[in-house]
Amino acid sequence: MKEIKVGIIGFGTVGSGTAEVLRCQAENLRRKTGLNITLARVADRSAQSLPPEFAQCPLSNKAEDVLNDPAIDIVVELIGGIEPARTLVLGAIARGKHVVTANKALMSTAGREILAAAAEAGVTVGMEASVAGGIPVIKTLKEGMTANTINSIMGILNGTANYILSRMTDERLPFAEVLREAQDKGYAEADPSFDIDGIDTAHKLAILIALAYGINIQLKDIHVEGISRIEPIDIVYARQFGYRIKLLAISINHGDHMEARVHPTMVPENHMLASVNGAYNAVNFNGDMAGDILLYGQGAGKMPTGSAVAADIVDIARDIAAGAINRVPGLAFVEDNIIKGRITPMEQLRGAYYFRMSVMDEPGVLANIAGILGNNEISIESVIQQKRQEKGPVPVVIRTHQATEKSVVQAMNEIDKLDICAKTPVIIRILE
Amino acid sequence: MKEIKVGIIGFGTVGSGTAEVLRCQAENLRRKTGLNITLARVADRSAQSLPPEFAQCPLSNKAEDVLNDPAIDIVVELIGGIEPARTLVLGAIARGKHVVTANKALMSTAGREILAAAAEAGVTVGMEASVAGGIPVIKTLKEGMTANTINSIMGILNGTANYILSRMTDERLPFAEVLREAQDKGYAEADPSFDIDGIDTAHKLAILIALAYGINIQLKDIHVEGISRIEPIDIVYARQFGYRIKLLAISINHGDHMEARVHPTMVPENHMLASVNGAYNAVNFNGDMAGDILLYGQGAGKMPTGSAVAADIVDIARDIAAGAINRVPGLAFVEDNIIKGRITPMEQLRGAYYFRMSVMDEPGVLANIAGILGNNEISIESVIQQKRQEKGPVPVVIRTHQATEKSVVQAMNEIDKLDICAKTPVIIRILE
């Protein structure tokens, strides 16, 4: 039986998960592929030893030992971050080795360079695990929906943020309290900013956009807002209006330009994405031929992410066994056909909006606000003005008809400057 | 640019949809594959001409003309049914041509024979479109989740049945009326039995089971019940208990035996499958590594199904261009590793049940029924006995704790024989 040898760099959560998947699925994979896919070497900067079930596998503290092992066919990079991951991946490619990575920071910033080098060298770089953990979203884009022009991408791509919003919704608890609880349970990092500020989601959206449209995109092109300003009261109003609040990655394809944005969004409660709760992820691709296709599952975690890494390893093993080179382009499109792409400026966005303002409860306040909205050509669908229960500002909640982002930003700046406005208004875009 | 030539047999809804996908995605596919994938010949028993946009494509009335055209690389069989489809597909394989089919009846009955012949001949048979239309469920099983042992399959695989149940739920209309409406709108066939009796769903489940577990399964091994006995009152009670009624395909992997059944099921309303409405399909695979992965989308229709057929064509085109043969086994497992498999006898099933009985409103009725259930070791979780509003039988609705199918069948037979029982009880299994 043909042997395919795998080397893992980085034996943390995903690295040990991948090793475990390869170990416990070995017989299953032999039945499916007719190949022996084995872990041949592990490199980890700090590990002193491997768990007993991997005792026969050589361990080094230098990543180069994996790159320089001539027996290794596939190098699995699981150290995260941009450097030294980038140098190691390029080094593996230069040595004619295939690469699998779960590194979204790396692939969303240096992906183009890495995949071009791989195409040149005739090796494959698999990155399924970099977006949505165990869910085969990249395979679906590159293969399952290949005969489609992608009209839109909408995704819940960060389990921590979705967990926090779900808990806030179910338990009516404030953001800070739920975050603390999530940190205590290990669902959120000590520094949670990557997750809750939308940066992690933006990394993943950048990868999906590149693969969906065959364009070059840079992280800075993506408009990003996090969830830390959402309050339980927003969730209550959202429910009243028939919505759930989700941190969505959104891209809409307008042909000669594409939207690229990450922000809290009111999702209609009968939309499948509204039913995605807890730490789960989901992505909806709309294709011009297939229509909506949604994929749902665990977007993180040791074994689900290990499952996606292993799927890439098996894909490459099958290519090796079949003698196939560059079978599917790394970026879904043949390198020469990747175009510059233009991202829609945020101010050109059109949609419905939810505003929550904290205002002093004085006569004429609503007339004042409505006047500013009217002057900016924003028409109001409904207003809820809460009665004052104690001293201090009261919330005014407004849902608009279709308006442009430009006029909304202008109007909110004007309202924010009013003396009666106690806090900067909260703005949530509504998905229609 | 390398040319890949496709011949289509059967120019009905899916055939013309596939031709349209290849035509309007030609430039998109060139950008992605670097290949020219063109429609080179169409055979249709009755077509006199092709639409003007395909005027340059030769049309014949004999399927053999496609098989015998030496220029054709991939034969697409879209005539449906078992014969002559089986003979044509085997004929294409014998001539060294790759095959793509959307034919679930064929692949669920003669799939083993066809895929063994293809492996022998070194050609590929793609069948993504045979299950769940445009949704890449087969690719997910064979590739995305390959490094998993599949623990369970649960799917809404028939859009017509799901449309009818959704309309009954939303509009509280009786089955017969919704069916008539669906037929008028073209959503249901004049003879709808395949869809509403669960046969179509069973064909698709048979294919998924074979691919998930690497076992041989025959249609007759699958327990099948349809939706025609569901009444609006069942839907109302389901809602009260927190469930939606769906026609589910279910298989649970017990290691040395696997469940295989299709029947109306009460799905908890917070389960993603409960949110699948209208003509949409969805499948949830539980893998031992990745956990739950659900795929959702359009399970039928000209363009979605055409999209799935085209995805298979592109997969094969990429194999041809890369010189890869038998890269992924047709049945997901290498032919020699496919085992007999044993299907769990229905009587061994365990679960919770919903019963609705129509009984005469006489004293002691409930005691009588409860006695029979108790004697059969079925314990009751809740009972709803409706007051009589007019003359005639009244419904008694019972939800049970865990019970075995064997005892349920026995108890229902006993109850059915009682003089006070006006109609055969309705039994709906509850998903937990």
Judge contact between B421 and B415, C-beta under 8 A: yes
Q: What's chain B's length in residues?
A: 432
C-alpha span between A20 and A18 (Å, rounded) = 5
| Start-to-end CA span in chain B (Å) | 54
Substitution target in A131, A271, A277, A289 with the highest count of B β-carbons within 10 Å is: A289
Size of interface A-B (CB pairs under 8 A): 227
With a cut of 90, say whether residue B413 has pLDDT above it. yes
Q: Are strands A280-287 and A291-298 parallel, antiparallel or unpaired?
A: antiparallel
Instruction: Find the CB nearest B294 among A290, A297, A313.
Output: A297
Sheet holding A2-9, edge to edge: A59-60, A35-43, A2-9, A74-77, A98-101, A125-126
**Alpha carbon distances (Å) from B107 to B43, B81, B114, B159:** 21, 10, 8, 20
With a cut of 90, say whether residue A60 has pLDDT above it.
Answer: yes
Q: Provide the chain B residues 182-221 that lie in CB contact (below 8 A) with chain A.
A: 214
Distance of CA A72 to the CA centre of its chain: 31
Decide if A295 and B293 are in contact by the 8 Å CB cutoff: yes
Q: Please write the tens of the pLDDT for every residue from B344-360.
A: 999 999 999 999 999 98
Task: Report CA-CA distances (Å) from B251 to A308, B107, B258, B400.
Answer: 23, 18, 6, 22
When pLDDT is cut at 50, 70 and 90, the band that residue A197 belongs to is very high
Q: What pLDDT, in 10s, does the model give residues A264-274?
A: 999 999 999 99
- The domains spanning B2-134+302-337 and B138-298 adopt the same CATH topology: no
Nearest-CA distance A310 → chain B (Å): 6
Q: For this structure, is B139 an active site residue?
A: no
Residue pLDDT, tens place only, A326-364 = 899 999 999 899 999 999 999 999 999 999 999 988 888
User: What separation in angstroms does the CA of B299 have from each of A144, B156, B315?
Assistant: 14, 9, 20
pLDDT of residue A9: 98
Interface of A with B in 103-132 (CB under 8 A): 128
Q: Who among B29, B292, B318 is closest to A147 (CB)?
A: B29
SS3 B83: coil
Q: Would you tell me how many other CB atoms lie within 10 Å of the CB of residue B347?
A: 12
- Confidence (pLDDT) at B326: 85
For residue A276, the chain B residues in CB contact (below 8 A) are 272
Q: CA A200, CA B310: separation in Å to the nearest integer?
A: 33
Cβ–Cβ gap A147/B327 under 8 Å: no
Q: Which of residues 309 through 348 in chain B touch A, CB cutoff 8 A?
A: 310-311, 313-315, 318-319, 321-329, 332-334, 337
- Smallest Cα–Cα separation from A152: which of A343, A295, A286, A348? A286
Q: Please, are residues A327 and B329 in contact by the beta-carbon 8 Å criterion? A: no
Does the pLDDT value for residue A26 go beyond 90? yes
- Predicted pLDDT of residue A386: 77
**Which positions in chain B touch A310 (Cβ < 8 Å)?**
146-147, 289
Q: Which CATH architecture is the domain B346-430 placed in?
A: 2-Layer Sandwich (3.30)
Fold of the A2-131+302-337 domain: Rossmann fold (3.40.50)
> Would you list the domain boundaries of chain B?
2-134+302-337, 138-298, 346-430
The residue type of B291 is G
- CB proximity B241 to A under 8 Å: no
- pLDDT in the model for residue A361: 84
Q: Are B324 and A323 a contacting pair at CB < 8 A?
A: yes
Q: Which of B62, B204, B406, B423 is catalytic?
A: B204
Spell out the residues 6+ positions from residue A226 whose beta carbon is closer than 8 angstroms to its own: A161, A193, A196, A197, A198, A247, A264
Take residue A209 and report the two structure tokens written for it: 């956009």
Q: What is the pLDDT of residue B284?
A: 98
Helices A405-417 and A365-375, axial angle in degrees (round to 10): 150
**Looking at chain A, how many residues does it have?**
432
Could you read off the pLDDT of B302-345 as tens digits, one per residue? 999 999 999 999 999 999 999 998 899 999 999 899 999 999 99
Contact between A292 and B297 using a beta-carbon 8 Å cutoff = yes
Find the helix or strand (DSSP H, E) in which A291 lies: strand A291-298
Looking at the complex, does the CB of residue A136 fall below 8 Å from at least one CB of chain B?
yes
Which tens digit of pLDDT belongs to each residue from A242-263? 999 999 999 999 999 999 999 9
Tokens 């509850």, located at residue: B430
Residues in B closer than 8 angstroms to A323, CB to CB, are 322-324
Q: What is the pLDDT of residues A290-309, one digit of tens each?
A: 999 999 999 999 999 999 99
For residue B374, the 8-state DSSP code is H
Q: A80 — alpha (psi -120 to 50), left (phi > 0) or beta?
A: left
Q: Report the pLDDT value the prediction gives residue B189, as an integer from 0 to 100.
A: 82
Contact A289 B21 (CB under 8 A): yes
For chain B, give the percent of residues with pLDDT over 70: 100
- Residues forming beta bridges with residue B171, ordered by sequence position: none
Pick B143's closest partner by Cβ from A276, A296, A311: A311
pLDDT confidence of A188, banded at 50, 70, 90?
confident
Specify the fold of B2-134+302-337: Rossmann fold (3.40.50)
Cα(B191)–Cα(B189) distance, rounded to whole angstroms? Answer: 5
A138-298, what's its fold?
Answer: Dihydrodipicolinate Reductase; domain 2 (3.30.360)
Query: Which pair of tokens denotes residue A325?
Result: 């080179």
Provide the pLDDT confidence category of residue B186 given band limits of 50, 70 and 90.
Answer: confident
Cα separation, A121 vs B242, in Å, equals 56
Mean local confidence (pLDDT), B141-151? 98
Contacts of B329 in chain A (CB under 8 A): 32
Q: What is the mean pLDDT of residues B60-88?
A: 97
Task: Give the lowest-confidence range in A54-63, B33-42, B184-193.
Answer: B184-193
For an interface test with A, give the residue of B18, B37, B140, B146 to mutate (most A CBs within 10 A).
B146
Compare all CA atoms of chain A with the CA of B292 and give the residue at the minimum distance: A297
Instruction: Give the residue on B whose Cα is nearest the Cα of A35.
Output: B334
d(CA B109, CA A20): 37
Decide: helix, strand or coil at residue A111. helix
Q: What is the 3-state secondary structure (H, E, C) of A52-84?
A: HHHCCCCEECCCHHHHCCCCCCEEEECCCCCCC
Q: For B300, which residue in chain A has the nearest alpha carbon?
A: A290
Whose CA is closest to A123, among A320, A308, A314? A320
pLDDT for A232 beyond 80: yes
**Cα A292 from Cα B280, distance rounded (Å):** 10
Residue appearing with tokens 């024979």 = B113
